[in-house]
Amino acid sequence: MSTIAPEQSTNPTTNTTEPVVNGDTTQIDEEGINRLPRIEYADLDAPYSAYGLWARRWIVLAASTASFFAPLSASIYYPALPHIASDIGVSNSNNNLTVTTYLIVQGLAPMVTGAFSDSAGRRPAYALYFFIYLFANLGQISGSQFKTSRGSVKHPDLELMCQPDYVALMVLRCLQSAGSSGVIAIANGVVSDIVTPQERGSFVAFASLSTNIGPAISPVIRGLLSRYLGWRWIFWFLVIYTACFCVPFFLFFPETCRTVMHDVSVFPPLLNRCVTDYIRRRTKQSSSVAMQPASRKQKLCAPNPLITLKVFTVKETAMIIMPCGILYSSLYAVLTGASDAFKTKYGFDKVKVPVLRADSIPPAPRGMYMRDTALDWNFRRHTKRLGIPLTANRQQELSKFPIETARIQVALPAFLFLTISLAVYGWVIQEHYSIVGTIVLLVAMSWTNTALFQSLNVLLVDTYPGRGAIVTAAVNLVRCDLGAATTAVISPMTNGIGNGWAYTFIAAIGLTTAPMLLLNMKYGMHWRAETTDKERRKARKRAEH
């Protein structure tokens, strides 16, 4: 990983502006880190981040690569579900519970991650969750003798195998989920730390690169491992890959959390330092410019996961999260049901099924570029219409800017196309139409689902500056818990009413959330202003006492 050097701050001898509540001059205290208010910064003329354009791109890309472990751990598992069920002697419905519990934990874990990373910093949070993830994968490795419901078996080729006991598999998959899912919320927090709203759309392309390509690549890896080495080799692969990634990542990835580093022109506390920080300090000392230490003394406090739940008490935020989570959870139904559907309907084996998911790789980078360029273009269009000047790497005042309209206008076409594609996909599978049509629909759903999710996610980060990890955790909670529900019911639904009506029903549920987006476009800015005034009054009362 390359060494990253930030731009010189406009005033390197002093710390950057302190965080305030919604543009007010009341400083956030230590306790305020564990409260919900949006954090903004008083000096809008100062550079938002001391890092240059390409440095920010490399940082966000590194955070995105760390996020790859979440879709890798989830999607690599789907194609092997029928074979795992056969090997450990459980039904497909019971085996799907390992996916369900994985998704439940995937939704709950970022509630802790978001609060912890927004207070202690991004690097300590990464270290904690990668440790849990590595431990969970190592826990799957047992002795060469293992027991299944069919009796004791000894693998003929490998001296060491992975845990095949059903209960142990479920528990360790939960730990694996806890370790991998937290990093997604941190990645969005990194974006909010160093990127302004006018550039955030294009930077989301970097942040979401791994999470978009991961679901396409990982099933192919899983299929090859399952065919040639056995499904249990997944955990060996994940241990090796995690170790190879973590060494360069923790050596060079810098701290970006604004509650710790402000615009990152300061020298971070001990637990937040990396090699590049020492290089930056030596470079500044050689140029006779002192690098100031962080003004806030580092204090690791227990994170409060209940902060994430407070997000749902803000109506304009809840009305963005619900459509985002409900529609994204539909993709889990497609992924879970696809393995069995393609095996029974089209006669695909354990290698051919994941290859279908690989067909979404070619359009993914182009699709992300088009989507995120559209977000930035629409933002600039509205600023030009309102006569608002834009300056690169400067924070914009959004209190009187219709950011909801600018983002949702890009998300709505993807919303409608996704619901239609979902219903059509179910009937194509049920009527056993050409496999070409199925592949086209899979690509369409993959792209539009990502476009919708990331567009609304950018909106949430825009409206909660400094709280990117917490609001992302709230989205993740809804997305994963609803995804857990869909994975649990999709098999009984398709067996009972068929693929066509099952996916049509899921699409109809998603369509009922469209009024939430339309209302946000019309009243979102007004609702946000009311919430901001309420937060300011509370902040002043706390300051008085």
Q: Please give the pLDDT value at position 72.
A: 81
3 state SS for 187-235: HHHHHHHHCCHHHHHHHHHHHCHHHHHHHHHHHHHHHHHHHHCCCCHHH
Q: Please give the pLDDT value at position 388.
A: 79
Q: Is the pLDDT of residue 517 over 90?
A: yes
Q: Is residue 64 part of a domain?
A: no
Q: Is residue 394 part of a domain?
A: yes
Q: Is residue 20 part of a domain?
A: no
Q: Which of 524, 394, 376 lies closest to 460, judged by CA?
A: 524
Q: Please give the pLDDT value at position 264.
A: 64
Higher pLDDT, 199 or 507: 507
Higher pLDDT, 490 or 77: 490
Q: Please give the pLDDT value at position 408.
A: 92
Higher pLDDT, 518 or 234: 518
Reported as a pLDDT band with limits 50, 70 and 90, residue 291 is: low
Q: Is the pLDDT of residue 155 over 50?
A: no
Contact 387, 438 (CB under 8 A): no
DSSP string, 394-423: -PPP-TTS-HHHHHHHHHHHHHHHHHHHHH
Structure tokens belonging to residue 474: 């709230």
- The conformation of residue 302, written as its DSSP 8-state character, comes to -
Q: Is the pLDDT of residue 378 over 60?
A: yes
For 457, the 3-state DSSP assignment is: helix
Q: Is residue 364 part of a domain?
A: yes
Q: Please give the pLDDT value at position 118.
A: 75
Higher pLDDT, 86 or 323: 323
Average pLDDT of the chain, as a whole number: 74
Q: Please give the pLDDT value at position 512.
A: 92
pLDDT in tens, 331-376: 878 877 776 777 676 666 555 555 555 554 444 455 555 555 788 8
Place of tokens 């050689």: 286
Higher pLDDT, 281 or 126: 126
Residues near 385 by beta carbon (within 8 Å), at least 6 away in sequence: none
Q: Please give the pLDDT value at position 391.
A: 67
Q: Is residue 19 part of a domain?
A: no
- The conformation of residue 297, written as its DSSP 8-state character, comes to P
Contact 196, 126 (CB under 8 A): no
Q: Is the pLDDT of residue 506 over 80?
A: yes
Residue burial 378-388, b: 16+ Cβ < 10 Å; e: rest: bbeebbeeeee
Q: Please give the pLDDT value at position 430.
A: 84
Higher pLDDT, 253 or 539: 253
The gap from C-alpha 332 to its chain's centroid, in whole angstroms, comes to 15
Report how many domains make up the chain.
Answer: 1
Reported as a pLDDT band with limits 50, 70 and 90, residue 275 is: confident
Q: Is residue 24 part of a domain?
A: no
Domain containing residue 446:
74-294+307-544
Q: Please give the pLDDT value at position 42.
A: 45
Of the listed ranges 74-83, 129-138, 274-283, 438-447, the one predicted with least confidence: 74-83
Q: Is residue 171 part of a domain?
A: yes
Q: Please give the pLDDT value at position 481.
A: 78
Q: Please give the pLDDT value at position 445.
A: 84
Contact 307, 470 (CB under 8 A): yes
Q: Please give the pLDDT value at position 420.
A: 92
Give the C-alpha separation, 262 to 292, whole Å: 12
CATH value at residue 127 = 1.20.1250.20
CA neighbours closer than 13 Å in the CB half-sphere of residue 494: 26
Higher pLDDT, 144 or 205: 205
Q: Please give the pLDDT value at position 248.
A: 92
Q: Is residue 284 part of a domain?
A: yes
What's the whole-number mean pLDDT along residues 217-223? 73
pLDDT in tens, 16-74: 344 444 443 333 344 444 444 455 544 556 677 778 888 888 898 899 889 888 878 87
3 state SS for 493-543: HHHHHHHHHHHHHHHHHHHCCHHHHHHHHHHHHHHHHHHHHHHHHHHHHHH
Reported as a pLDDT band with limits 50, 70 and 90, residue 166 is: confident
Reported as a pLDDT band with limits 50, 70 and 90, residue 520 is: very high
